Structure 1
């Protein structure tokens, strides 16, 4: 397949979103080819009719998709390959990983190259997903303040979660990492601001005024309605996101009264550095290996 140039889209470019949905009932080779093209071009792929109604068959079909795109990796020290994205806040102790609650998730990137989310059941209200193009954020910052853009290419503190790379206790990484990197003309991003601030606080490092201003400007554009593509996944729909090209987020939601009707997504983390290469500093690999 020929290389496809990344498209720096914003909300205005995707008014005809229905035209880019992929039919998941096609043969797997066709699905993978179309999904790969969409991921290179947009940084995401939307699929319908990929999976079956019951959870086990759906997980198997989703796993087959992931294995054809790259290597499926664990999402926590628990070692799960297909993770349940639900609100567990009423049945377990506090979990700092927000996908296990009903609260808002701000724009961020996950560690793996790709994330796949399949909807088994939407929420009663809310739970809207939104995507923001990294290159669009980058270019809007460049047009606003070149100095702050340059700051985001410089190293920032970052945080290591419990269990990552075999480390038992969470804490700051010894090395720092930039928010933006560029490789062969392609801008990539690794971003979760709470972890930057937690790492700095733990090390008693005070972020500079320029660093704070750069992160504030990044947040401004990452949450801009002019840049964000918003959609609510419906039952049977799947989205795959390239974590270095697109940030993803979710609004808070209200669930159905009955536990069996709760909002429920299945999630894969897929490592695919050969298919979707980025700068080495943004290749995070199998975090929980």
Structure 2
């Protein structure tokens, strides 16, 4: 294999990955790489005191693998945090981009302690074998096939948001804190994958997300995704908030529903999340 390709890694910063998400961090790393390349050639362009370089969305897509919509969305995030600047060149011309290295360093310094705290928490979580993890997921998603069938027969769904609820109240199998960390990571993986896929694939991914959320709450067996459910999930997936900041909240809500501390409504999975997600309230 070509040694150049073997060395073609996207080395994104860990703190930025934690705060802004892996996609934004990857795109920033690629922009920084291009900045360095043109800087070494002394071909950066001075515009208003900042140094810029040319690159197109197609070029960034070819280097990162992300769709142009995903790239545009995350460049906007980077710009909002002052890490990147851009100048539109007009029709059929590539944009100019500038990397603000001082702001990047300040951003990393500002969030470094938060990242280290998160690392410490993750490392202290007790590790379970794959067999125990799978067992835990099975416990959550619903006991025996016979019991699942019985619960489906007793489940009522009228396909309306927050009216999607079950009258079943005899289930004793519950999600536990043992599974919470694993399920949060699983949820993050699902949403990150949807965010990175093409628009054509996103609908299938949203359905998979709905099925996953229903699988971890036995009360939701037999639920069918309504248009309002779908709109809610799309708004969460399309939001700019990093997944790790709300994934644990959703799983915690699922546990509370299983333990009857919250009503068995699909919308109750997102209690506390709506304040985090842009335009969530517009769905009501």
TM-score bin, normalised by smaller chain: under 0.3
- Structure with bigger strand share is 1
TM-score by length of 1: 0.26
TM-score by length of 2: 0.26
Task: Mark the structure with the bigger radius of gyration.
Answer: 2
User: Which structure is richer in relative contact order (CA contacts within 8 A, separation 6 or more)?
Assistant: 1
